A = this chain, B = another copy of it.
Amino acid sequence: MKRKITLKQIARELDVSISTVSKALSNSKEISEDTTQKIQAFAKLYNYKPNNIALSLKNRKTKTIGILIPEIVHHFFSTVIRGIELIANRRGYNVIVGLSNESFTKEIINMEMLATGSIDGFILSISKETLLKQDYHHFNATIDQGMPIVMFDRVVSEVECDKVIVDDFNGAVKAVKKLIDNGCKNIGLITTMDYVSVGRLRTQGYLEALQSNCVEANSNLILKIDDSLDVENHLEILENEMGQFFKMNGNIDGIFAVNELYAVTAMKVARKLGLSIPDDIQVIGFTDGVLSKHATPSLTTVSQHGQKMGEQAANLLIDRLEALDAEGDQYFTNNERKSDFIKMVIETEIIERESTK
C-alpha cells in the first residue's frame, strides 16, 4: 500500500497554508497561477488524488454518514446527532463524528480525512471561523467531486446543497411578541456578534417584532457578546457584562436571549441585583436544553427541535445517496451539478415555563 499524502503534508512541504493547498487543488481563483501550478504539480508527483472521493463513491458504499460539527460540548449539537443516529440506524447506516472546533483549517482537515474513503456523505454545520472568513471552497470542492452534503443550522447561500434550518427569524419574532403581549415595554436583547448567521437572524427577528408592534428599537438595549471566547470558562466576564447592561438600563422588563446559557446567566445576574423573575423581568431563551429545564425559575424558551433537525438531515442525505445509487455512473459521467436542492425549515415552538408571566 502506498503511503498517501495529505493536504497537511503538502502544505508543510511547500510552506503554504492548508487552505492555500486546498484552494489550489480545487482551482480557486484566489490563488495565483504560479502557486496553483506548483501545488498541483507537487500533489501529482506524490499521487494526491483530489477526485478519489468520486472514485470511492463509485466503487464502494461505506454505508457511513460523516457528521462534522463545530463543537461537542453543546447540547443542541448532541441532540441533532441523536436524531441523525436514529434515522441512520433505522435505514442501515452508521455515523462517525468529526469536530472542527470552530476552526476553518480543522474543518478542511476533517473533511479530507472523512471524505477519502470512510463515508458516503456529510451532514455538517459550519464553523464560526469559516463563517467569518466567508470561504466555502472546501464544501463546493467536495460536492463537485460527487459527495453529497446536507448542512444544518449554520448554513450559507454560497453553497448549493440540501439544508435543514430552524426558523430562527420567526422563532425570535414569536419570543419577542410574547414578551410584548405579556406587557413588557423595554425588551433587551442578548445576542452574539453578527457573523454567526443564527445570531444575526434572531437579532433581525427581535427588531421585526418590535417594529411590527410599534415599539421603537433602542441600541442601548442590545448586548452583543463576543462568543469567540469560551463562555463556559469565562462565566465571570459574561456575568460582569450583563451586570453592567442591567445597571445601565434600569428600565428593562423583558429579556430575549439567543441561547439558553445567556438566558440562564441573565436570570442569575438579575436576581443578584435584587430583581425578581418573572415579576420584574421576564426572560425567554432560545434552544431547549437541559439548562432551560432545570434552571430556577425554569426557562421559557424557543425550542429548536434539534433531534427533529437531525432526523430530517439524515433522511435528506440518505434519500440523495439512494438516488445516486439508482442513477449509477450517470451522475459522474455527466458531472453536472444537481440543482434540485431542498431547504427544509423546522418550525420553532415556544415552551412556556416559569420565567415568563
Using CB atoms and an 8 Å cutoff, list the residues of chain A in contact with chain B.
1, 3-4, 55-56, 59-60, 62, 64, 72-75, 78-79, 81-82, 85, 89, 94-99, 101, 106, 109-110, 113-114, 117-118, 232, 235, 264, 268, 290-291, 293-296
Do residues B264 and A294 form an inter-chain contact, with CB atoms below 8 A? yes
A-B contact pairs, 9 of them (CB 8 A): A1-B60, A72-B82, A73-B75, A73-B79, A73-B81, A89-B106, A94-B110, A96-B98, A96-B114
Residue in contact with A73 in the complex, picked from B56, B82, B117, B232, CB distance below 8 Å = B82
A94-B109 contact in complex given A59-B3, A296-B296, C-beta closer than 8 Å: yes
Which of chain B's residues has its CB closest to A56's CB? B1
What are the residues of chain B within 8 A of A117 when measuring CB–CB? 117-118
With contacts A96-B96, A114-B96, A295-B296 taken as known, whether A101 is within 8 angstroms of B73 at the C-beta atoms is: no
Chain B residues within an 8 Å CB radius of A109: 94
Quick one: given A98-B97, A99-B95, are A4 and B60 in contact (CB under 8 Å)? yes
CB neighbours of A59 from chain B (8 A):
1, 3
Residue pair A97, B94 in contact (C-beta under 8 Å): no
A290 touches which of B82, B95, B290 (Cβ 8 Å): B290
Give the residues in chain B near A294, CB-CB below 8 Å. 264, 268, 291, 294-295
Whether A113 touches B72, Cβ cut-off 8 Å, given contacts A85-B101, A96-B96, A291-B291, is no
- Provide the residues of chain B in CB contact with A78, threshold 8 Å: 72-74, 78
Least CB distance, A217 to chain B, in whole angstroms: 30
A190 to chain B, nearest CB (A): 16
- The distance in angstroms between the C-alpha atoms of A106 and B89, with both chains bound, is 10
- Cβ–Cβ < 8 Å partners of A118 in chain B: 113, 117-118
